Chains A and B, each alone.
Chain A
Amino acid sequence: MSIVRTPLRSESFRPLVKRDFLRRTRNPMPWMVPIAVIIALLTLLPLGFVVWITVQTGWNTAIALIFRPRIGELLLNTVLLVAITVPLCVLLAIALAWLTERSDIPGARIWAWLSVAPLAVPAFVQSYAWVSLIPSLHGLFGGVLVSVLAYLPFLYLPVSATLRRLDPGLEEAAASLGQPPWQVFWHVVLPQLRLALCGGSLLIALHLLAEYGLFAMIRFDTFTTAIFDQFQSTYSGAAAHMLAGVLVMCCLALLAIEAAFRGGARYARIGSGAARAHSPKRLGPMTLPCLLVPLLTTSLALGVPFVTLTGWLIAGGADIWQVTEIGRALGQTLLLAVAGAILTTFAAIPMAWLSIRRPGRLQRVLEASNYIVGALPGVVIALALATVTVRVALTLYQTAATLLVAYALMFVPRALVSLRASIAQAPLELEQAAASLGRSPIQALWAVTIRLAAPGATAGTALVALGIVNELTATQMLAPTGTRTLAMAFWSLSGEIDYAGAAPYAVIMVLFSLPLTWLLYTQSKRWAGR
């Protein structure tokens, strides 16, 4: 056999070349780097706070506060919650995704949309719907049930998008090698879903750790609810701080576990050209039993909130529409959401710009720190800001400014994702062309890059704003006295068992979340290339 030359695969070298090229060009805006570093350090503030407060507390007190039965109880609750909810979500998401993407189930597109739609129902509204339907619902069972329903889309979205994108050629190849269908699924399809499963599971687990409203409503104690309760009774006692420390460790442990599961997996499609579309699997006589899966999930995740909300709206009649009060809450919420979103986007610009235009070691460090900050629960960030303002700058305590900073810290990772993607749309060559036409670097950035990145950046800002609309934990802990956002009003009314009075607020929050849900749904379709 003749010796075949092995051509270098130029594609695999391109990113490297580009990086070198970028590093060699002169940085037109050197001040971007320190700004990005300062913002990154600021986002690390809550983490630094946890370390600092632990040192302040002293070793012995810390040990005494950490190693006590209460923490063990919370830890057990958290571990059980994550260990039961995440696998359930994985199984259900795979089943739903397979049915909607690969089978001839009737109404597949509708079921696909309905599987994403629960995203529009904030977790604590989902919880409220269930508690007002079954008042005795509580504890681990209730927590798992509501969590699965509320967070399932986080896994369904990536898994269904990946399933759609997988090259059917691989499955055909496996079949031609004598593998029966279930083995093909096990040995070929499932391994390729690994990245989607890892990412989605991590997202759900982090939400389980960070969520306050859902679990407080059904009286299931987690670290977050415990920190919140401690904060309300003692403001920022050492006990709350130690709880926050343990919670942060749990989040970091989740990141490590996910990284270990993910491994060095790279599942790039090797072949060239577009993958052939999948031909749907015939369910035949299994159609009816299979229909039960999406039917049951949808009626639990969407039917229950719909029925309870409608029920309370009818029961409450016109009395619950306190127009002035709802209007005031709506106005405050929108003001906070827009201001917070703009602040967040501006805070994210230097880092996003750096990661696209100046890739290198510094940018990788910033990215890693951002990855960790993204995993921090809102309750830890709020606790850190409350304590820092009380101890260092009392005038800032419980001001809108502090709250907006908290929002920025919480949502910078979210803003970064869309900003990075949209800055990548504006090639460096255009910025250079603008410079050669006499624009200063910042003018070029404004006239070219920002303009081109604007649509994506706006979408990212909207995502952040919608996140702030539904934010409860940090808002409760940091908002100036007298503030009453939609989420806060909903929370206090449902806390007083005025379920009917809370219903209008829930409806408005759901309506606000619908565009976001639609955006994520269409984005996942586009990502899959169809």
Chain B
Amino acid sequence: MSFLTLQAVRKRYGQVAALDGIHLSVPLGSRTAVVGPSGSGKTTLLRIIAGYEVPDGGRVELDGQVLAEGASGVPAFRRGIGVVSQDGALFPHLSIAENIGFGLPRNQAGRDSQIAALVEMVGLDASMLQRRPDQISGGQQQRVALARALARKPRLILLDEPFSALDAGLRVSTRRAVADLLERSGVTTILVTHDQEEALSFADQVAVMREGRLAQVGSPRELYLRPLDAMIAAFLGDVILLPADVADGFAACAVGRISVDQDRRGPAQIMLRPEQISLDRKPPKPGDLRGRVTDIDFAGTFCTISVDLLAGESQDATGFLRLRRSLVEPLDRGDIVRIKIAGPAHLLDVDTRSDARDTRPE
């Protein structure tokens, strides 16, 4: 059941189409991530849902209520949608307690205990309530902003890159805490981010945005394993793209003959995730795919290994792979390795957009 529905939402800024016909359906209680490179229009989309911007056309509907239809719409302050922005947007002239209570009626009974409960809910200490926003850390500011948005029991929460201003360690822990909290409160959430890892781990529905359009919408697993095109594939993680000749459920390509997940014929592009490829130092048997390690870039937990593919018994490279993985057994430059490929390769749609250079095995 769709809780929030967007139909053909459009928005232009001068010559630039920021949103070019967005259709999106968000189920009640779900977590949706809108992910895309900067400038793809994702923040504009969020601002239109929040009511900060008026769309040029299209329709936004929340729980059966029309929020915006063309230029007419419900103003932001009547939407009941909570927003947590990139920097938290805490009011610098108010204390933490006043910030959290900002949306609550001033003479409401039990207001203070409600504020105290919210602070506890977002995992902050009650002693912080009297401080000013500039006296607490960035991660704490984001939690206060979340508490402030949740105080009004919003129907929908919009998170606009709320973790991007935090440093790496804090980002992961804050993200997990926020996800847990939203899970428990059951509020429908939309997260906007340019960080694919964040989108995949946070959401149960991911929408990839590109140049004002939603390129693909689906579950994180589906998008990761079965992207529509090479750009989506590359955006969501490391990827190996190979040109192939497909027939009868198998693809002939630089790494040999491997099964594919669709039945099609003719030249195509296939995609492998690096985790589908394993290397070992067992002596290769005839018919095995061999490779020679040409470079190892050591960087702690993960190393980048470059491998030349060797066809048959020859010593000439037919292509090469670059894989990022943790080194369990020591490999050295010049080692001959056996390459194994697990699972089917994903057959990409015939992609007119993909760059010729990307089709080279890498």
Contacts and interface: CB of A to CB of B under 8 A. Distances in A.
Most chain B CB neighbours (cut-off 10 Å) among A5, A7, A181, A270: A270
B149 interface: yes
B82 A176 contact: yes
Interface stretch (B109-117, B170-178, B212-220, B245-253): B170-178
Contact of A1 (B77, B89, B123, B133): B123
A404 to B, nearest CB: 45
B106 to A, nearest CB: 10
Interface in B45-104: 50-53, 75-83, 85-94, 102-103
Contacts of A177: 77, 82, 102-103, 148-149, 151-152
Interface in B103-145: 103, 123, 132-134, 136-141, 145
Interface string A106-117: 000000000000
A54 B83 CA distance: 63
A7 B137 contact: yes
Contacts of B81: 176
B92 A269 contact: yes
A304 to B, nearest CB: 39
Interface string A245-286: 000000000000000000001111111110000010000000
A498 interface: no
B170 A4 contact: yes
Contact of A4 (B79, B89, B140): B140
Contacts of A271: 86-89, 165
Nearest to A192: B93
Residue of B51, B89, B94 contacting most chain A CB atoms (<10 Å) = B89
A167 B140 CA distance: 20
Interface in A182-215: 184, 187-188, 191-192, 194
Contacts of A5: 169-170
Contacts of A279: 53
Nearest to B80: A178
B280 interface: no
B87 A178 contact: no
B180 interface: yes
Contacts, number: 116
Nearest to B103: A177
Contact of B89 (A12, A169, A192, A273): A169
Pick the most buried of B76, B78, B79: most chain A CB atoms within 10 A of its CB: B76
A180 B102 CA distance: 13
Contacts of A181: 75, 77
B87 A175 contact: no
Contact of B134 (A169, A173, A178, A270): A270
Contacts of B83: 172-173, 176
A268 B81 CA distance: 27
B119 to A, nearest CB: 12
A268 B50 contact: no
Contacts of A7: 137-138, 167, 170
A265 B93 contact: yes
A289 B136 CA distance: 45
Interface in B249-277: none
A6 interface: yes
A175 B141 contact: no
Interface residues of B, number: 50
Interface residues of A, number: 37
Interface in A1-40: 1-2, 4-7, 9, 12
Given A176-B77, A177-B152, A268 B134 contact: yes
A9 B166 CA distance: 12
A369 interface: no
B174 A266 contact: no
B284 to A, nearest CB: 46
Contact of A176 (B76, B141, B167): B76
Contact of B85 (A173, A194, A267): A173
A266 B95 CA distance: 12
B188 to A, nearest CB: 15
Given A2-B176, A268-B134, A271-B86, A175 B167 contact: no
A194 to B, nearest CB: 8
A30 B172 CA distance: 53
A4 B174 contact: yes
A180 B92 contact: no
A1 B180 contact: yes
A179 interface: yes
Contacts of B167: 7
21 contacts: A4-B137, A4-B140, A4-B173, A4-B174, A4-B177, A6-B139, A12-B134, A169-B89, A172-B76, A172-B83, A173-B83, A176-B82, A176-B149, A177-B102, A177-B149, A184-B77, A191-B94, A271-B88, A272-B87, A272-B165, A273-B86
Interface of B: 50-53, 75-83, 85-94, 102-103, 123, 132-134, 136-141, 145, 148-149, 151-152, 165, 167, 169-170, 173-174, 176-177, 180-181
Interface of A: 1-2, 4-7, 9, 12, 167, 169-170, 172-181, 184, 187-188, 191-192, 194, 265-273, 279
